[in-house]
A and B are shown apart, each in its own frame.
Chain A
Amino acid sequence: MAEPGTILAASGLGKRFGALVVLGDVDFAVREGEAVGIVGPNGAGKTTLLNVLSGAYPPSAGRVTFRGQDVSALDAAARCRRGIARSHQIPRPFSGMTVFENLLVAARAGGGLRGRAAELRCLDALEQCAMMPLANRRGETLGLLDRKRLELARALATGPQVLLLDEIGGGLTDGEAADLVGIIQAIRARGIAVVWIEHIVHILVQVVGRLVCMDAGRVIAEGAPGDVLRDAAVIDAYLGPSAHAHPVG
Chain B
Amino acid sequence: MSGPDLIVQRWTTRSAWFVAAMGALVVLLALGPTVFSAGLTDRLTTLFIYVILGAMWNALAGYGGLVSVGQQAFFGLGAYAAIRLSHAEVPVYPAIVLAGLAVGVLSLAVGEVMLRLRGGEFAVGMWVVAELAHLLVNLDPLVQGETGTSLIALNAVGAVARRGYNYWLALATMAALLGVLFALLRGRVGTAIQSIRDDEQAAGSLGVRVLPTKRIVFVLAATGCAMAGALWLSTAITFQPKAYFSVQWTAYMIFMTLVGGIGTFEGPVLGAVLFFLVETFFGARGVWYLVGLGAAALAFSLFLPRGMFGALDQRFSLRLLPLGYRVMLPGLLLRRGESGRG
Contact = CB atoms under 8 A, between A and B. Distances in A.
Interface in A79-115: 80-81, 85-86, 88, 92-98, 100-102, 104-106, 108-112, 114
Contacts of B192: 105, 108-109
Contacts of B279: none
Nearest to A95: B198
A141 interface: yes
Contacts of B263: 96
Interface residues of A, number: 48
Contact of A132 (B1, B195, B341): B1
B334 to A, nearest CB: 7
A100 B195 CA distance: 12
A124 B326 contact: no
Contacts of A183: none
A206 interface: no
B340 interface: yes
B35 to A, nearest CB: 41
Given A94-B199, A135-B327, A136-B327, A77 B194 contact: no
Contacts of A93: 198-199, 202
Contacts of A137: 337-338, 340-341
Interface in B175-221: 188, 191-192, 194-195, 197-199, 201-210
A126 B5 CA distance: 13
Interface centre among B2, B207, B329, B341 (most CB of A within 10 A): B207
Contacts of B3: 120, 123-124, 126-127, 132
Interface in B7-45: 8
B158 interface: no
A120 B142 CA distance: 59
B1 A109 contact: no
Interface size class of B (residues with CB under 8 A): 35 or more
A97 B194 contact: yes
Given A97-B191, A101-B191, A86 B333 contact: no
Contacts of A240: none
Interface string B322-342: 001111010001101110111
A100 B9 CA distance: 12
A92 B201 contact: yes
B334 A98 contact: no
Given A108-B188, A120-B4, A123-B4, A94 B325 contact: no
B277 interface: no
A141 B206 CA distance: 21
B139 to A, nearest CB: 40
B195 A97 contact: yes
B337 A109 contact: no
A94 B327 contact: no
A129 B214 CA distance: 31
B25 to A, nearest CB: 28
A133 B209 contact: no
B127 to A, nearest CB: 26
B334 A133 contact: yes
A95 to B, nearest CB: 5
B194 to A, nearest CB: 6
Contacts of A127: 2-3
A239 interface: no
Contacts of A76: 204-205
Nearest to B198: A94
A94 B324 CA distance: 14
A204 B205 CA distance: 24
A134 interface: yes
Contacts of A56: 201, 205
A94 B1 CA distance: 27
A155 B198 CA distance: 17
A72 interface: no
A67 B327 CA distance: 36
Interface centre among B2, B201, B337 (most CB of A within 10 A): B337
Interface centre among B206, B209, B210 (most CB of A within 10 A): B206
Nearest to A128: B3
A154 interface: yes
Interface in B125-167: none
B318 interface: no
List the 8 shortest-distance A-B pairs measured between CB atoms, nearest first.
A110-B207, A123-B3, A133-B337, A92-B202, A80-B207, A94-B198, A135-B327, A127-B3
Given A95-B198, A96-B194, 13 more contacts: A85-B206, A88-B202, A92-B201, A97-B198, A101-B324, A102-B195, A104-B191, A104-B325, A105-B194, A124-B3, A132-B1, A132-B327, A136-B338
28 contacts: A54-B205, A77-B205, A77-B208, A88-B202, A88-B205, A92-B199, A96-B194, A96-B198, A97-B194, A100-B326, A105-B192, A108-B191, A109-B188, A109-B192, A109-B203, A109-B206, A109-B208, A119-B8, A123-B3, A123-B8, A127-B2, A132-B3, A132-B329, A132-B333, A132-B337, A135-B327, A139-B198, A155-B206
